[in-house]
Structure formats: C-alpha cells, structure tokens
Amino acid sequence: MKVDGVARRSIQLAADGRGVEIVDQTLLPHRFETRELRVLSDATEAISAMRVRGAPLIGATAAYGVALQMREESSDASLQRAIEALLATRPTAVNLSWALDEMRASLRELPPAAREARAYARAAAICDEDVENCRAIGEHGLRLIEALHERRAERGPLNVLTHCNAGWLATVDWGTALAPVYLAHDRGIAIHVWVDETRPRNQGASLTAWELGQHGVSHTVIADNAGGHLMQRGRVDLCITGSDRTTSTGDVCNKIGTYLKALAARDNGVPFYVALPTSSIDWTLSDGLAEIPIEERDGAELSCVRGRNADGDTVEVAVTPASSPVANPAFDVTPARLVTGLITERGVCEASAAGLAGLYPERSAQSASS
Amino acid sequence: MKVDGVARRSIQLAADGRGVEIVDQTLLPHRFETRELRVLSDATEAISAMRVRGAPLIGATAAYGVALQMREESSDASLQRAIEALLATRPTAVNLSWALDEMRASLRELPPAAREARAYARAAAICDEDVENCRAIGEHGLRLIEALHERRAERGPLNVLTHCNAGWLATVDWGTALAPVYLAHDRGIAIHVWVDETRPRNQGASLTAWELGQHGVSHTVIADNAGGHLMQRGRVDLCITGSDRTTSTGDVCNKIGTYLKALAARDNGVPFYVALPTSSIDWTLSDGLAEIPIEERDGAELSCVRGRNADGDTVEVAVTPASSPVANPAFDVTPARLVTGLITERGVCEASAAGLAGLYPERSAQSASS
C-alpha cells in the first residue's frame, strides 16, 4: 500500500539486501519513520516494543530475525538461541511460533554455510505467501462489496465499518479486513470506512485511519460507542473485521468490542463479515466462549492515553483517577450465529462447522477419520 | 455524597448565604476544586465551560444564576437579560429552559424589591426537589438491587454496569442511575460497579470513577468495548444508565454507546434498567429513532484526549492523524424493547406506553382527551 504516494510493504529488505526495514508503528499516526533491523536483537526489540504488531507481521519479522542471526553466526546453537529469543518476545502470538517452526524446519538439516542464504529466501517466501493470502482475501471480499454496491438504492459511497487494525500494517501488505477495501478503492468503487477508535490501544484511530489516509481511502474516525447508532440510521452497509483466532465452528475471537458491533449489525440487518487467513483457524476448538482464554492486559493501556501534545511530542496522559482500579480484557468472542460469513484466502463461507468444512474438505476428512 | 469523607452537594450556597459554590468538574478526576459563583457571568461561564454539566445540575445552576443577578439588579430588564444569557449557554438542554421558566414564573409578578429573596428561595427549592427526586429513584432502584442480590447463587458483590455519568455530579445529589448504588452501599449491600470509560468525553473514567471512589463504592473502570465480554462471562448482574430524553413509549435517548450495552444485556439475559426523573420524559414523542435529533458535537472531543501529564498538569493530546475526519454523534436511542424497566421518582415501570401510563395516569387521561 502507499505511503506519501509510494508503494511499500510493512516489512521489506533494505537496499543492501541484508538489513530489514520496518515501519516504527509506535510513532504513528504522528510520525512516519522506518527503522532498519541489522541484528537479531533489533528484531526481538521491534517485536517486544510493538514497533511491529499484527500476527502475520510478527511472524514475518521473526523469520527475518532468524535470517539476521544466520548472517552473523550460522551454527546449530546460534539457530536455537535465535528461535528462543524470538519466541520469548510475544509468547501468545500463534503466527510467531508458526513462522519460527517454518524457519527451523527449513534450516536445521542444512550445513551451516548454506543457512544464511536459505534463511533469507524462506523469510522472503513467508512474506510473499502472506501478501498472496491477503490479496486473495481481498479478491473474495471485493466480490461481496461489488454485490452490495450494485444492490444499494442510494448513491454515494458504500459505507464499511471496521474495528481495530486489520490492515496492511498488521500484515506484510493489503491486510485482511482492509484488503477488500483497498482493492475496491483501487478499482474505482466509491467506498468510505467508519474507523472505530478501538480503545484502549487506539489501533483504529492511530493505525487504520493513518494507513487509509495514506492510501487515499475516504474514512472517518468514530468512538467505539458510535457504531450502533450509525447502523440504526442506515449509515453502515457492511462490517468487516479481522480475527485473532477462529474456531472450527466459526466463533471469532477478535479485539475487545467486536462482539458489540456484531450485535448491532444483527439488530439492524447489516452484514457482518470476518476476514482471516487460514492460519488463524484453530481446528481444535469448537466453542469459542468456553474454550478461548481471554488475555487480560496491563490496565495502564486504559488509564493512560498516548498522543501528541502541543509541542508535537508524543506523550502519555492519565485519564482515570489514580486510585480507581482498571480492567483490560484484550479480546472478546463473537459467536458464529452473529457472523454473516468468513472470508479466507480460499473464499467466503458460512461461519459454521459445515461452512468451514466446505472450504476445507481436507479438514473435515481429518476429523471424520480421527 | 462524600468528598474526602465530607458530605456535600454538587451545588450549594457559600458560607455567606449569597455566593454559590460549585465543583469545577473540568478539573476532575485529577484535582478537586470548588469555585464560587458571585455574579451572573460566573454562572453562565460555569455552564458554557462545562464546569457544571448534567441536565439537573445545569438547571439548578441557571436558577441560582438568576438569583445572583436579582441581587445585583432586580428590574424586569435585568431579569430578562439574565434569562436570555443563561438560555444561550447550552441551547439544547431541556432542564435549562425548564428551570428558567420556573424562575421567570415565580419572579415576574413580584415587585423588584421582593425578587432577590424569592429567587434564592426558588433556586434552593429547585435543588431540594432534585435531591428528593433522585433519592426516590434511589429507593425504587434499591428494591431491584435487593431482589437481585437475594436471588444470586454466588457470593461476592452484585455487579452493576453503568455508562457515562448519571451520578451526583450530574444532579444536585445522589444522581439518577447511581442513586440506587449509593443507597445499596450505604445500607451495607456488597456492590461493585463496572464503569464504562465513555468515550469521547470520558465522563465514566473521569467523573463516575471519581465520585464512586470518593464515596467508597467498589468500582473498576473498563473500556466501552469491554461490557459485552463481561456480560458473556456472567460478570454483570445489572445495567443501569441515565436518560437524557425518554419518549412516551419508553425509548431512551442517552449518551452514545448506551444502545450497544442494551443489546449485549439482552443477548445475555442481563436486566437493563434506565433511571430518570420525570422531567426527562418527553410526552410529545412516541418514536425515539424517528423523532429525536442527535446532536453532532465537535470532533475535537474525539481527536484530542484530556489527561494529566507527567508534570501533573492537565493537558490535551491528539490521538488521530491530523488529516483524518472525525464524526462525533453525542447520543443514541435505545429502543424500549431492549429496556427491562424505567425507574423514576414515582416507581418502576415497563418501558412502554402502557408502563408509563400506569405510573402517570394523569398523562394517559390527557392523551385520551386530546
């Protein structure tokens, strides 16, 4: 997607073909700055400090982190140390361990001298696969947008509501929930995005709004509280969110507050779609509410807000009484019954065991035989 | 309610019996400071700058504003000027025009020399009536809390979720939604309040959390996004909110985001009550969604967050990209079908035309004859 008119990925090789360039997302939306990762510790720091975030991008950064380390020292012990250091950065991220398993599998049988080149190649392939998956999600979602656009009586842009950031900043390019939006925009379909601020970390206000603005997509930031009202007034044609974890029955675990928007969409007859790569489906789960533990994050994310002060510096300010306790559950579960459909790189399906079995026949064969 | 252990009202006469003491709510929760209003312009400034807010408290402040002016100059022209200046401070506040009508009616037939004393007396009576109404709302709501408390299987406090600030800071004392909570607490019932942050103005995080904390009521601040998740997990026994305007059919117009919580309450079988003084019922309306215009407020309320910086100063920081548009609808409408019941100073009724007719028989007689 574009930044200042120039197409780029959220992670890419530096000009020397060895360093790895990321966007420092902690500075957005107020400052766009790239940062070059040169050694393993740059990569672990970037993930820990959330300069990169979003499951696919964390995986891609970890893969390049292994490559950076192989360049320094390609022994078995060095490979093991790199994987352990990267795994420790965000212990709960599913894509992180997936990407590191991929790197380990493709490197461990090789002689050390061959590992650097293979590591860079595999990391690049992980990035390219992510881009291809997101583009495919975009194409499938685009068909939904085109159909809705044709059916509407009114003129004016199609209004899409999204929550949190499931855009290109969370992936390598395109994004998941936003991929259909970017494709529609690039193909000349009039589209406008309602961007949920997404408290407490404000990923909507700071990241989604920024990336849509840079790419030239019409959008408006709203409080998380406003989406239901807009749906009541017919001002939302479609909701699309991402998913952090999806059960085999179509329950969706995503950023806290997603469930409330799904309820409002159902109450107002607004289609509610969830876009996700296959890698976020947890085939071992069948009941999201009962089985998915919800991460409770630091209350300071809620009690302190980061923003730009009058001097242009990014600072934190406290918004709650110092003596008031704060609770900060990071995700919620939207039951499949509230989800109109799931959009994966394979296509669109009903959010149900049967729907997913249709898109993933090899999985239903597996469970039948187990 | 108590501040630093001392009972007080949100507005009260100063020691000299002439000045009027308010709490400067723009400084909360970080600094508790009272401010004495001595002349009319102090009162208009306090309302305009939102040092006082909440419909009942705005009405009370306006009433005292007229009294302050009558003390300076009690002519007809002076009375008229005072009423006009006060009315212009927050043109849409229903209680403001109600209180000013009351003051005008009780003063205009009097000789100017008698107006000062009468104005102070009427303003004091308006305050006392508000306190009495809120206390009555509290008593009716307390019975609901007691019944729920007895019925629960679990030990531990009864968990109440509230949105925005409908506490004593919004009224003269007790509050509306929080009156039952304070009464329950004072009578020794174990109670805990989930306080919605209430973006964009953060009335929950800054005012509700502060006043509950000062009175010693157990509470936890949460993002507006979190309430649905807590209800799914059985961690909310009861929702109570206030209402800015209630139709004759029980639709409730309240702070943006109330509707989303009502949807989640319905989806999870959690009782959702709305507490309101009779003065907030608009008997001329029968369809809240179709008939209530929703105020669109300044986008800066969303794009800038006020809080305390590291130096202890209250400052504003920008949280959205400077180039991103922002929309800020201030209220939404919760349809009566999602409201378990209305709590007014007369009692508790179903949120419906029939329910309200039961509590207000004189009103249904009126409509039958019209």
**Lowest mean pLDDT segment, chosen from A81-85, A229-233, B88-92:** B88-92
Pairing assessment for the beta strands A252-255 and B272-275 based on DSSP bridges: unpaired
Residue from B239, B313, B319 whose CB has the most chain A CBs within 10 Å, to mutate: B319
Distance from CA of B216 to the nearest CA of A (A): 11
Distance from CA of A238 to the nearest CA of B (A): 17
Residue indicated by tokens 């009541």? A232
Question: Do B224 and A303 lie within an 8 Å CB cutoff?
Answer: no
A222/B contact by beta carbon, under 8 A: yes
For residue A247, what are its two tokens? 């059960």
Question: What is the structure's pLDDT at A17?
Answer: 94
Residue A134 lies in a domain: no
Do A347 and A136 meet the contact criterion of CB atoms below 8 Å apart?
Answer: no
For residue A299, what are its two tokens? 């209350």
Look up B244 and say whether it is catalytic. Answer: yes
Instruction: Give the confidence band of A103 by pLDDT, cuts at 50, 70, 90.
Output: very high
Residue A137 lies in a domain: no
Last residue of a domain, one of B67, B96, B129: B129
Q: Which residues, 6+ apart, have CB-to-CB distance to B155 below 8 Å?
A: none
Instruction: Give the confidence band of A191 by pLDDT, cuts at 50, 70, 90.
Output: very high
Domain that holds residue B298: 154-369
A241/B contact by beta carbon, under 8 A: no
Instruction: Give the confidence band of A302 by pLDDT, cuts at 50, 70, 90.
Output: very high
B257/A contact by beta carbon, under 8 A: yes
Mean pLDDT of A142-153: 91
Taking CA–CA distances from A234, the nearest residue in chain B reads B289
Question: What is the structure's pLDDT at B94?
Answer: 74
Percent of chain A with pLDDT over 70: 97
Q: Over 90: is that where the pLDDT of A49 sits?
A: yes
Distance from CA of B239 to the nearest CA of A (A): 15
What whole-number distance in Å separates Cα of residue A204 and Cα of residue B305?
A: 15
Last residue of a domain, one of B79, B96, B129: B129
B161/A contact by beta carbon, under 8 A: no
Residues B171 and B64 in one domain: no
Residue B175 lies in a domain: yes
Residue from B317, B326, B331, B334 whose CB has the most chain A CBs within 10 Å, to mutate: B317
For residue A241, what are its two tokens? 């969110």
What whole-number distance in Å separates Cα of residue B121 and Cα of residue A292?
A: 61
Q: Residue B63 is part of a domain; what is its CATH number?
A: 1.20.120.420
Window 293-322 of B: residues touching A by CB (8 A cutoff) are 294, 302-310, 315-321
Structure ipTM over 0.85, yes or no: yes
Question: Do A332 and B229 lie within an 8 Å CB cutoff?
Answer: yes
Residue B303 lies in a domain: yes
Question: What is the structure's pLDDT at B367?
Answer: 58
Question: What is the structure's pLDDT at A367?
Answer: 57
B236/A contact by beta carbon, under 8 A: no
Pairing assessment for the beta strands A2-3 and A6-7 based on DSSP bridges: antiparallel
Residue A309 lies in a domain: yes
Residues A87 and A233 in one domain: no
Question: What is the structure's pLDDT at B152?
Answer: 80
Is the Cα dihedral B133, B136, B142, B144 positive or negative?
negative
Instruction: Give the confidence band of A55 by pLDDT, cuts at 50, 70, 90.
Output: confident
What whole-number distance in Å separates Cα of residue B52 and Cα of residue B170?
A: 8
What whole-number distance in Å separates Cα of residue A239 and Cα of residue A262?
A: 8
What whole-number distance in Å separates Cα of residue B328 and Cα of residue B334?
A: 18
Amino acid making up residue A286: S
Amino acid making up residue B187: R
Give pLDDT < 50 ranges for chain B: 370
Phi, psi of A7 (to 5 degrees): -70, 135
Residues A86 and A233 in one domain: no
Residues A125 and A162 in one domain: no
Measured between CB atoms, which of B210, B309, B332 is closest to A228?
B332
Collapsed DSSP state (helix, strand, coil) of residue B31: coil
Residues B64 and B176 in one domain: no
Distance from CA of B67 to the nearest CA of A (A): 35
For chain A, how many residues are written? 370
Question: Do A229 and B200 lie within an 8 Å CB cutoff?
Answer: no
Residues B172 and B108 in one domain: no
Last residue of a domain, one of A70, A96, A129: A129
B198/A contact by beta carbon, under 8 A: yes
Residue B145 lies in a domain: no
B226/A contact by beta carbon, under 8 A: yes
Percent of chain B with pLDDT over 90: 93
Measured between CB atoms, which of A305, A318, A331 is closest to B319?
A305
Question: What is the structure's pLDDT at B365?
Answer: 62
* Total domains present in chain B: 2
Question: What is the structure's pLDDT at A277?
Answer: 94
Residue B221 lies in a domain: yes
Catalytic positions of A are 244
Report angle CA B6, B9, B13 to the nearest 5 degrees.
105
List B244, B251, B282, B332, catalytic entry: B244
Residues B58 and B160 in one domain: no
Residues A253 and A200 in one domain: yes
Residues A254 and A185 in one domain: yes
**Contacting residues of A for B310, CB less than 8 Å apart:** 315-316
A68/B contact by beta carbon, under 8 A: no
Taking CA–CA distances from A233, the nearest residue in chain B reads B289
Which own/partner pairs from A360-367 qualify as long-range (CB within 8 Å, at least 24 positions apart)? A360/A278, A360/A281, A363/A248, A363/A283, A366/A283, A367/A248, A367/A283
Taking CA–CA distances from B337, the nearest residue in chain A reads A267
Measured between CB atoms, which of A264, A316, A318 is closest to B263?
A264
Measured between CB atoms, which of B198, B221, B329 is closest to A226?
B329
Q: Residue A239 is part of a domain; what is its CATH number?
A: 3.40.50.10470
Taking CA–CA distances from A330, the nearest residue in chain B reads B226
Distance from CA of A230 to the nearest CA of B (A): 9
**Contacting residues of A for B298, CB less than 8 Å apart:** none
What whole-number distance in Å separates Cα of residue B162 and Cα of residue B239?
A: 6
B251/A contact by beta carbon, under 8 A: no
Residues B176 and B266 in one domain: yes
Could you tell me the CA-to-CA distances from B342 to B247, B261, B268, B271 in Å, in that order? Answer: 11, 16, 19, 11
Q: Over 70: is that where the pLDDT of A322 sits?
A: yes
A268/B contact by beta carbon, under 8 A: no
Measured between CB atoms, which of A255, A256, A321 is closest to B29?
A321
Q: What is the pLDDT of residues A330-365, one digit of tens each?
A: 999 999 999 999 999 999 999 999 999 999 999 876
Residues A120 and A206 in one domain: no
Taking CA–CA distances from A211, the nearest residue in chain B reads B321
Residues B248 and B296 in one domain: yes
Question: Do A302 and B267 lie within an 8 Å CB cutoff?
Answer: no
Question: What is the structure's pLDDT at A304?
Answer: 96
What whole-number distance in Å separates Cα of residue B273 and Cα of residue B262?
A: 9
If DSSP states are collapsed to H, E and C, what string results for A10-67? CEEECCCCCCEEEECHHHCCCCCCEEEECCHHHHHHHHHCCCCCCHHHHHHHHHHHHH
Residue A305 lies in a domain: yes
Distance from CA of A366 to the nearest CA of B (A): 32
